[in-house]
């Protein structure tokens, strides 16, 4: 019986399930796009909550990304090269913030930097400041970067680095001139994911930095604040965020494709 | 008696392989043969300076590159060894000229030197091309040029012809053999192919399961093969 049934009948359940998920993914985005006319969008953007939140989100997420790239690149390199159980333990620890709910990260940050936290003695006064926004974004978003960059570094052939060293390169020069360029598609991918995650950060920011307009109220927090007063403003901010995220995705994809063209392939040439 | 060019003694365990390799070799090319997994690449990488966790000594013209009992281990960049790994190890994101210039220092002087090396190897027309735009034989030539550009005290070539098709292999083999003979530079060349062995015409060191099981010139080994592997490799000559 089963052999006799037509091919489309075999594929049908899978197609229906896949379509179901696609609708779930795309319908909210479409609704967002249709919710406001361009005129309404422009008007909503003039709401006093919007511009400060937009500016704050832009600079905090950018600073967070820069910090993550500066500190996360060497970490990713070390994780990619290290052997042994300790490296795996550290790698798992680095990935923890991906699976821990952001609100839990917010509480944990308060337990470290809060008034009665572990590092309270240092008198940093970090909570509820713009620096706290950046800190929350770094902790929540860094694992995405480190994971992707480490995967990129793992793909670099050991022999290329050894050859670079025999040609006189110091370990650092070998990494910068050979490993980093070859891992660049993965590094860019990680940076895009990291920035998007930082931009969308909500839970950890709310708990650790609060939601003070102009000071710690980022775009996602402004959406939440606006929702209580004016749905149109909330929708407009949401639409801006969605557009920025979409543009990030497209840019990262274009960059990856450009880097993955044959001229800069990241594999050893001529291997058998 | 003059000191040999290479003095190599490497011991240690690598996965399932127990290495206990000891050999000396003179100037000019020396050919390392052995079945897969015998440790040939490991020996080359350890001499080049990769941290393989092996103990022992490596000397080149009396200069100590590695001596674990004395705590000496020169980093790869201080060894002056030209290493061409099995996949050639060309940097895919750089032009042929930049590949060769990589070891020549920085600035315009480096490119000039790379230029001169490419010219010497008749590879100047390839200078602007990336590795993926080159044929197997051309890539081989660039990899050799790059290794030679640092004026190495010794050369390590790991199956330098394995990635080539038949025609390219024949031409490149002749070029390589000619170059190695002329340069007179100490070189360890790993190969599987009897035609390479004959063309390069150096002394042979046989490596099996992490040990040296035979050594000598090709005709002597063919006359009295020390192991089954050697007998099989040199069978066409016997």
CATH (domain of A136): 1.10.3720.10
Band of residue B161 on the pLDDT scale cut at 50, 70, 90: confident
Q: For position B183, what pLDDT does the model report?
A: 77
Which residue among B87, B92, B105 places its CB closest to the CB of A264?
Answer: B92
The pLDDT tens digits of the residues spanning B95-108 come to: 999 999 999 988 88
CB contact under 8 A, B131 and A170: no
Q: For position A168, what pLDDT does the model report?
A: 95
Residue A9 lies in a domain: no
Residue A88 lies in a domain: yes
CB contact under 8 A, B132 and A263: yes
What pTM value is reported for the model? 0.86
Average pLDDT per run of 10 along chain A, which is 272 residues long? 68 91 92 84 84 93 97 96 89 92 95 88 87 96 96 95 96 95 94 94 96 94 90 86 88 85 47 32
Residue A268 lies in a domain: no
Residue A90 lies in a domain: yes
Residue numbers in A near B157 (CB within 8 A): none
ipTM over 0.90: yes
Residue numbers in A near B163 (CB within 8 A): 270-272
Which residue among A168, A171, A269 places its CB closest to the CB of B88?
Answer: A269
Q: Rounded to the nearest 10 degrees, what angle do helices A130-154 and A50-81 cross at?
A: 40
Residue A15 lies in a domain: no
Q: Minimal CA–CA distance to B99: which of B74, B78, B128, B120?
A: B128
Q: For position A266, what pLDDT does the model report?
A: 41
Q: Which of A168-172, A186-190, B182-186, B223-227 has the lowest mean pLDDT?
A: B182-186
Using an 8 Å Cβ cutoff, are B25 and B186 in contact?
A: yes
Q: Does B64 touch chain A (CB under 8 A)?
A: no
CB contact under 8 A, B77 and A166: yes
Between B201 and B23, residue with greater pLDDT: B23
Strand arrangement, sheet containing B29-33: B72-73, B63-67, B55-60, B6-14, B17-25, B211-216, B203-208, B29-33, B187-190, B154-158, B81-84
Tell me the mean pLDDT in the region B181-189.
87
What is the maximum span of chain A, computed from C-alpha positions, in angstroms?
75
Number of domains into which chain A is organized: 1
- Smallest CA–CA distance, residue B89 to chain A, in Å, is 5
Q: For position B40, what pLDDT does the model report?
A: 95
Q: Which domain holds residue A179?
A: 48-259
Q: For position B186, what pLDDT does the model report?
A: 94
Residue numbers in A near B83 (CB within 8 A): 162-163, 166
User: Among residues of chain B, what percentage have pLDDT more than 90?
Assistant: 68
Residue A31 lies in a domain: no
């Amino acid at each position: 019986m089963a052999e006799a049934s037509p091919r489309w009948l075999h594929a049908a359940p899978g197609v229906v399930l896949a379509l179901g998920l696609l609708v779930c993914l795309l319908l909210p985005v479409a609704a967002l796009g249709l919710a406001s006319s361009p005129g309404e969008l422009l008007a909503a953007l003039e709401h006093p909550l919007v511009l400060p939140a937009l500016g704050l989100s832009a600079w905090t997420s950018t600073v967070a990304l820069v910090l993550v790239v500066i500190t996360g690149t060497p970490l990713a390199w070390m994780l990619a090269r290290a052997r042994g159980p300790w490296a795996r333990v550290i790698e798992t620890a680095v990935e923890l913030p991906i699976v821990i709910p952001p609100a839990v990260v917010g509480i944990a940050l308060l337990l470290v930097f809060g008034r009665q936290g572990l590092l309270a003695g240092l008198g940093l006064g970090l909570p509820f400041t713009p620096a706290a926004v950046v800190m929350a974004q770094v902790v929540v978003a860094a694992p995405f970067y480190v994971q992707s960059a480490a995967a990129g570094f793992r793909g670099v052939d050991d022999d290329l680095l050894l050859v670079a060293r025999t040609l006189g390169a110091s370990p650092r020069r070998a990494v910068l001139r050979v490993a980093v360029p070859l891992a660049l598609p993965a590094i860019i991918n990680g940076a895009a994911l990291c920035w998007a995650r930082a931009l969308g950060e909500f839970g950890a920011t709310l708990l650790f930095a609060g939601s003070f307009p102009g000071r710690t109220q980022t775009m996602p927090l402004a959406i939440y604040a606006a929702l209580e007063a004016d749905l149109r403003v909330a929708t407009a901010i949401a639409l801006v965020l969605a557009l920025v995220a979409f543009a990030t995705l497209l840019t990262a994809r274009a960059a990856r494709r450009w880097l993955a063209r044959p001229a800069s392939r990241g594999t050893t040439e001529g291997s058998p | 008696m003059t000191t040999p060019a290479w003095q190599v003694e490497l011991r240690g365990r690598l996965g399932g392989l127990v290495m206990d390799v000891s050999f000396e070799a003179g100037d000019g090319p020396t050919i390392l043969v052995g079945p897969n997994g015998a440790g040939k690449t490991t020996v080359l990488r350890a001499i080049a300076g990769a941290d393989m966790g092996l103990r022992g000594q490596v000397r080149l013209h009396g200069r100590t590159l590695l001596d674990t009992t004395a705590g000496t281990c020169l980093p790869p960049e201080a060894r002056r060894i030209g290493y061409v790994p099995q996949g050639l190890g060309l940097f895919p994101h750089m032009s042929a000229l930049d590949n060769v210039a990589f070891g020549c220092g920085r600035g315009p002087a480096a490119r000039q030197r790379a230029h001169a090396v490419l010219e010497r190897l008749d590879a100047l027309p390839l200078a602007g091309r990336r590795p993926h735009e080159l044929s197997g034989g051309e890539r081989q030539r660039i990899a050799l040029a790059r290794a030679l550009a640092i004026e190495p005290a010794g050369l390590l070539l790991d199956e330098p012809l394995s990635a080539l098709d038949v025609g390219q292999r024949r031409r490149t083999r002749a070029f390589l053999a000619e170059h190695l003979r002329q340069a007179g530079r100490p070189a360890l060349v790993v190969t599987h192919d009897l035609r390479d062995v004959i063309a390069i015409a150096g002394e042979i060191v046989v490596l099996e399961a992490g040990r040296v099981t035979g050594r000598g010139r090709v005709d002597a080994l063919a006359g009295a093969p020390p192991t089954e592997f050697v007998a099989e490799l040199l069978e066409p000559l016997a």
